[in-house]
Amino acid sequence: MPPAPVPVRPADVHANELGTIPVLMYHRLVAVTTSVYDRTPDDFRAELERLAREGYVPITTAELAAGRIDIPAGAHPVVLTFDDGDPTTLTLGPDGAPRPARPCGSCSTSRPRTPASDPSRACT
What is the rounded average pLDDT of the residues 34-50?
91
Find all residues with CB under 8 Å of 108, minimum gap 6, and list them.
Answer: 118, 119, 120, 123
> How confident is the prediction for the chain on average, in pLDDT?
78
Residue 43 domain-assigned? yes
pTM of the full structure: 0.67
For residue 2, pLDDT beyond 90: no
Residue 13 domain-assigned? no
For residue 109, pLDDT beyond 90: no
The answer to whether the CB of 59 falls within 8 A of the CB of 71 is yes
Helical segments of the chain, H only: 41-53, 61-66, 103-106
Residue 69 domain-assigned? yes
> For the segment 52-78, what is each residue's pLDDT rounded down to a tens digit?
999 999 999 999 999 888 888 888 999
Residue 105 domain-assigned? yes
Q: Which candidate, 60, 73, 53, places its Cα nearest to that of 104?
A: 60
How many domains, in total, are found in the chain? 1
Q: What is the CA radius of gyration of the chain?
A: 16
Which residues constitute the domain of residue 44? 38-123
